[in-house]
Structure 1
């Protein structure tokens, strides 16, 4: 049998731009999206709805999902430029901004994107440690009773999570993460389903809890000022639950070029956001019905549920496994940026560019790079240390959502689309997009204000490393 010519062999291994041929489908992209979207944000939704009430809670949840879906569609159209079908690929979010909007916007985007990516990794470290501690406390409460003082420090568990991430971070790039994303997506379904199931059981038990159209009652549950700040923070928590636009382009870059990446990614986006919104509404509304205005900040670790303790434990194990994968989805763009810049800056350095093959039983040959090992280890240690200093779940989640939502999920996608599609100024589409930007900017400001106020309040009583 004759072997294929060299150019034919290369076409099987490489895309037309010389990069390794992509193998992703809309199904793998959907898994990446679900992994990125359903994370620690889902755990705070019952609390968020409790701050906002039966009307504002689901309305804001649905509104954020629609805005995210719309702006993600715009990002899909900008993946290739200048032509959305046959143009040059933009392989990262920042590369897309630089190509379409120019250098100044590129630097602003870099600050916003990487601040949020790093912040998300810190948030995931906090959340994973809280879930690991909850497993210990759940078993303690089961053994000694619900009134027992089952206090456990988060710090050791943050360190354990960090050690695991140091190992997994050696996976070279996004293209090798499909398996991890599928596992993480299954975990996210698992703990969301457990939370929903336990909420239904609690509701069916008939225990009376107070709920209202407007959420927490002023003068009874909180003061007027506290109500305002907590409502702002709740909006930030919901925004964080939909923050994945900053990895959208990287996910799209895993897709095969045939059929078109744009069509496959739009299908994946609809699938991913529809699934997550359905779960979000169930978690938020059933959680509020189960716990009422006393809903805990994290409905699987706040011990609204004590029994069956083993099921609560399983839910928290699922959270930890999922966040191991989600941490990688959000950290890979940071790794890639630093490693690509370093390789370009010092192309002759063997420490930065040389890779070594390490044989691993049952796995095969693993590519190891000295700089990658050092840099990624330092990054993980940094996120763990910051998580130890500021372990405030709801406030940190709300602030991350506020920081990321407007610039990354609205401003850059809409402005890139205006340039890509050459939308005429002051046309109906142009005016509509500008109004959307103003609205979302105001939402981000009030969410940030509420979250910062929450952090300040927490810092008044918190003593780090004790």
Structure 2
């Protein structure tokens, strides 16, 4: 009888878990194609961070800047491959969420404490930055198209609220696959505004008296600026935080495991990333040198139509990017409310939870719109661990490569590189935030 009761209890738990997964936004739909992976990853990767890359180059200089960007592209492609491979590294089990993979490596409790805070910092941080970027893009487009180059006297706060109003509506789409169309449009827009940005820089040409030396006049300023540049680059390569959740939407069979279509989409996405990141960073720095703004579009003033159009493309893109990064957060919130607080899965629960989240990101975005500083700070604290070296640590634990073999050395090299970014980049970014906060008026 005890055995039968245990079996019944186990069957009920499995049924309840399946029912919950069928409702949660990450796992409720598993019919995605490989190209879904491609444009979800493009949307996640080619985000607001790309606009700060020319500024990062101005802090790092040509040699270090080019080397760091190429190295970051290679390292993060490798760690992304690791995550795709580990999605089903345990037979009969899919790690549909980053923290589930962390739990497999570090244990049920420690895995949660290591992964979830970092993942939330990245995803919530991205949503906040996209709030700010969306508002600034609307403001820049309006100003550029205005007769005198200055739009109506509307505070940035209100432009951010305009962007948020769209997110209040879109946040109620049920799952990852339901935002496919938005993500595809966002991916197209990212390619368009990236191309327009570097093309506009080429058209503008090298500015008079351009200077490629560091703009800081002191050794302290030079050092802190260099560290900020490290964080800006780390922020740009942030797609790892949603890769397992994207792969969870792809069907998997023994004959065709999900890693095959997923990797196909990732390779396509990373080619697009290279074609977007490198020209924008290098052409922007080439044209403006150390006078480039922390958002390259702010440096481009002519031709007005092109600049306004690029900002509109950025706006459409960050609308989609916000949703791609918000969906895993919605998944975590809804799981917590149902499992820990014993709420019943319902549309009303989902409506309230998601509305509160969007309102929270709106409030933080309006209160602290320090674009450049926020990018670098978040890049060092959380983006570097989740994208550069945590996949390597998990790989060493789960795959157990031969000690001192090639695989072992490559992983440890990536870990040392990523840890260096984590330790160094937040220092300069924190100073940048403090300097900007001195003269900032709230909700101005």
On whether the aligned pair clears a TM of 0.5, the verdict is yes
Among 136, 140, 148, the residue aligned to 1:130: 136
Q: Which residue of 2 aligns with 1:444?
A: 422
Q: Which residue of 1 aligns with 2:400?
A: 422
Contact 2:31 2:250 in 1 (8 A): yes
Cα drift, residue 78 of structure 1 = 0.8
C-alpha offsets along residues 13-69 of structure 1, whole Å, 9 cap, x if unaligned?
x9xx98766222221101000000001111111111112222111111111111100
Q: Which residue of 2 aligns with 1:457?
A: 435
Equivalents in 1 of 2:317, 2:303: separation in Å? Answer: 22
Superposed, 1:99-248 pairs within 5 Å as 99-102=104-107, 103-140=109-146, 143-144=147-148, 152-203=154-205, 207-212=207-212, 215-216=213-214, 222-248=217-243
Q: Which residue of 1 aligns with 2:373?
A: 395
Q: Which residue of 1 aligns with 2:345?
A: 353
C-alpha offsets along residues 56-93 of structure 1, whole Å, 9 cap, x if unaligned?
1111111111110011111111101324xxx3111111
Contact 1:128 1:158 in 2 (8 A): yes
Range moving further from structure 2, 246-255 or 426-435: 426-435
Pair 1:329 & 2:324 matched: yes
Superposed, 1:53-92 pairs within 5 Å as 53-83=61-91, 87-92=92-97
Cα drift, residue 427 of structure 1 = 4.3
Q: Which residue of 2 aligns with 1:283?
A: 280
- 5+ residue gaps, structure 2, are 1-17
Equivalents in 2 of 1:106, 1:268: separation in Å? Answer: 28
Cα drift, residue 209 of structure 1 = 4.0
Among 352, 376, 383, the residue aligned to 2:361: 383
Cα drift, residue 164 of structure 1 = 0.9
C-alpha offsets along residues 283-337 of structure 1, whole Å, 9 cap, x if unaligned?
011111111221111111x1x3222212211111111111011001111111111
Pair 1:372 & 2:350 matched: yes
Pair 1:36 & 2:44 matched: yes
Cα drift, residue 200 of structure 1 = 1.1
Contact 1:136 1:152 in 2 (8 A): no
Identify, as 1 or 2, the structure richer in helix: 2
CA gap 1:209/1:192 in 2 versus in 1, 3 angstroms: farther
Q: Which residue of 1 aligns with 2:268?
A: 271
Q: How many residues align?
A: 419
Q: Which residue of 1 aligns with 2:391?
A: 413
Contact 1:124 1:323 in 2 (8 A): yes
Equivalents in 2 of 1:144, 1:35: separation in Å? Answer: 34
TM-score norm. by structure 2 comes to 0.89
Cα drift, residue 207 of structure 1 = 4.2
Cα drift, residue 425 of structure 1 = 4.2
Secondary structure of the structure 2 residue equivalent to 1:325: helix
Contact 2:402 2:408 in 1 (8 A): yes
Secondary structure of the structure 2 residue equivalent to 1:177: helix
Equivalents in 2 of 1:298, 1:443: separation in Å? Answer: 22
Equivalents in 2 of 1:81, 1:430: separation in Å? Answer: 18
CA gap 1:151/1:295 in 2 versus in 1, 3 angstroms: farther
CA RMSD, aligned part only? 2.2
CA gap 1:461/1:346 in 2 versus in 1, 3 angstroms: closer
TM-score norm. by structure 1 comes to 0.85
